Chains A and B, each alone.
Chain A
């Protein structure tokens, strides 16, 4: 038996032990006059609490994190292959694939950012010119000459 299997068995055993100990302590506190539905509710609450704690621990474990990564990677790989297949099919029928639209969109965004950058530079330059003009006007007013 590998260490991984042993760890999983240990965790599984721990879950049951915790559930049993919680239920045991609950039964110890129970009064004989307490109605069954209320007792069942308390028992259920204790079981869910144990399960929630164990689930939280498990979802932080390396086993779960690796499994999550592998399942996401597998799903993405499948999706990627499917998209490639569709693209090839569309190209072979002289159609437009989503990758072509993406490429056009990327190009547009690059152009947009270049234009915006240029506009921002022009704006800065204009602000500089306006400031210089204001300074010249103020200087001229203080010295009494027209600019």
Chain B
């Protein structure tokens, strides 16, 4: 038998709730000074790594945390030029790299470094046909393999697709993660903002050289202003006494605020050729002396995207599989945002185990004598 809900008990419940909320607010207030201390101590990266190759500011990291390579072909992560790459290895339990390393993939990550004014003339050609090609040449020699597996995230995904189209012979399997390919969809906010009549990319690059990190940061913030400026701080305040939440929040925010400038010429090419002219899908994207034809891609392709991605919506990534000549191609969609694709809990429990399986099924097992992995390193300045 349930008690009748009279006015007295309702009033008592309300009073208790208000009191509890006031006490919770007090507890949060007490924790506030320690919050700043914790923010200073945020640890970046989960897996142990070593630098095995350097070319100017670009470094190649090798993850050493696994029990030795169980697959012969190494896996190379290529990240965007906009942020730091440690989002792919954020913290234990939220690391894409960890999934592959634990499964036995010899895993590497390209860290593009922070460009200075001297790098403002670097073009897509320098990155794709220069550094990426050199890194993959180095990996092929180091691991004594003809091909490598490539996983590109965001802008790094677009660069990986361009690289594979130009140098298919060196790529065994290609995984794209929220990679912008087709920019014909008019509904994206970024596409609207970068329309030639509203955004003069030439003027920006000519005056600024490299595109400042603060400018890019403010653009990303503006994509969801209410969520970023109001809802996020309130959510933090309400869960200030939840240690796990605060820890995740600080790690994430540290990465989000850790923007780096983008080399001016690459930015110009990206905005002009991709966002404004959509040349990649038309087979008209010039990269150095070459023109990129996505139909040259014949290797197995896994195209991963997030349904709630406001930065690279599915409409920009989905058409990729229809533009390549590969017969083995798969699409995976996750109910997450752009960053959630890498660090979200659903991505960790559902997406990445499936993606690792996909790659494992298409990889050759390493022979017993090479399982301990290679040890050489090199550097070009």
Q: Which residues of B contact A65 (CB under 8 A)?
A: 192-193, 195, 198
Are A72 and B204 neighbours in the complex by a CB distance under 8 Å?
yes
* Per-residue contact bits, chain B 7-51, to A (CB 8 Å; 1 contact, 0 not): 000100110111011000000000000000000000000000000
Given contacts A56-B189, A60-B192, A68-B193, contact A35 B13 (CB under 8 A): yes
Q: How far is the CA of A56 from the CA of B226 in the complex (A)?
A: 9
Q: Which residues of B contact A98 (CB under 8 A)?
A: 117
The 8 Å CB contact of B10, one of A33, A72, A80, is: A33
Are B118 and A105 neighbours in the complex by a CB distance under 8 Å?
yes
Are A52 and B13 neighbours in the complex by a CB distance under 8 Å?
no
The 8 Å CB contact of A32, one of B10, B20, B200, B226, is: B10
B378: Cβ under 8 A from any A Cβ: no
The 8 Å CB contact of B231, one of A37, A38, A48, is: A48
Q: How far is the CA of A48 from the CA of B228 in the complex (A)?
A: 11
Are B121 and A105 neighbours in the complex by a CB distance under 8 Å?
yes
* Per-residue contact bits, chain A 47-78, to B (CB 8 Å; 1 contact, 0 not): 01001100110011000011011001100100
Q: Which residues of A contact B204 (CB under 8 A)?
A: 72, 76
Are B231 and A36 neighbours in the complex by a CB distance under 8 Å?
no
Q: How far is the CA of A105 from the CA of B222 in the complex (A)?
A: 35
Closest to B195 in A: A65
The 8 Å CB contact of A37, one of B17, B193, B207, is: B17
B5: Cβ under 8 A from any A Cβ: yes
Q: How far is the CA of A98 from the CA of B142 in the complex (A)?
A: 41
A79: Cβ under 8 A from any B Cβ: yes
Q: Which residues of A contact B13 (CB under 8 A)?
A: 33, 35
Of the four ranges (under 10, 10 to 19, 20 to 34, 35 or more), the interface on chain B belongs to 20 to 34
Q: Which residues of A contact B117 (CB under 8 A)?
A: 98, 101
B239: Cβ under 8 A from any A Cβ: no
Within 8 A of A (CB), among B157-201: 189, 192-193, 195, 197-200
Are B198 and A60 neighbours in the complex by a CB distance under 8 Å?
no
B93: Cβ under 8 A from any A Cβ: no
B203: Cβ under 8 A from any A Cβ: yes
A83: Cβ under 8 A from any B Cβ: yes
Within 8 A of B (CB), among A109-132: 109, 117, 120
Q: What is the minimal beta-carbon distance from B120 to any residue of chain A, in angstroms?
A: 8
Are B225 and A36 neighbours in the complex by a CB distance under 8 Å?
no
Given contacts A33-B5, A60-B192, contact A51 B21 (CB under 8 A): no
The 8 Å CB contact of A52, one of B17, B118, B198, B224, is: B224
Are A66 and B207 neighbours in the complex by a CB distance under 8 Å?
no
Given contacts A37-B21, A105-B118, contact A73 B222 (CB under 8 A): no
A106: Cβ under 8 A from any B Cβ: yes
B349: Cβ under 8 A from any A Cβ: no
Q: Which residues of A contact B195 (CB under 8 A)?
A: 65
Are A52 and B226 neighbours in the complex by a CB distance under 8 Å?
yes
Q: What is the minimal beta-carbon distance from A37 to any residue of chain B, in angstroms?
A: 4
B227: Cβ under 8 A from any A Cβ: yes
Q: How far is the CA of A97 from the CA of B204 in the complex (A)?
A: 19
Q: What is the minimal beta-carbon distance from B121 to any residue of chain A, in angstroms?
A: 6
Q: Which residues of B contact A44 (CB under 8 A)?
A: 234
Q: Which residues of A contact B208 (CB under 8 A)?
A: 76, 79
Q: What is the minimal beta-carbon distance from A12 to any residue of chain B, in angstroms?
A: 16
Q: What is the minimal beta-carbon distance from B157 to any residue of chain A, in angstroms?
A: 25
Q: Which residues of A contact B197 (CB under 8 A)?
A: 69
Sample (28) of A-B pairs whose CB atoms are under 8 Å apart: A33-B10, A35-B14, A35-B16, A35-B17, A35-B18, A36-B17, A36-B18, A48-B230, A51-B226, A52-B224, A52-B227, A59-B189, A65-B193, A65-B195, A65-B198, A69-B197, A69-B198, A72-B200, A72-B204, A76-B200, A76-B203, A76-B204, A76-B207, A79-B207, A80-B207, A105-B121, A117-B289, A120-B289
Q: What are the 4 A-B residue pairs with the smallest beta carbon separation, nearest first?
A: A35-B17, A52-B226, A37-B21, A65-B198
Given contact pairs A35-B13, A51-B230, A73-B200, a sample of 15 additional A-B residue pairs in the complex whose CB atoms are under 8 Å apart = A35-B16, A37-B17, A37-B20, A48-B231, A52-B225, A52-B226, A56-B189, A59-B222, A59-B225, A65-B192, A69-B198, A76-B200, A76-B208, A98-B117, A117-B289
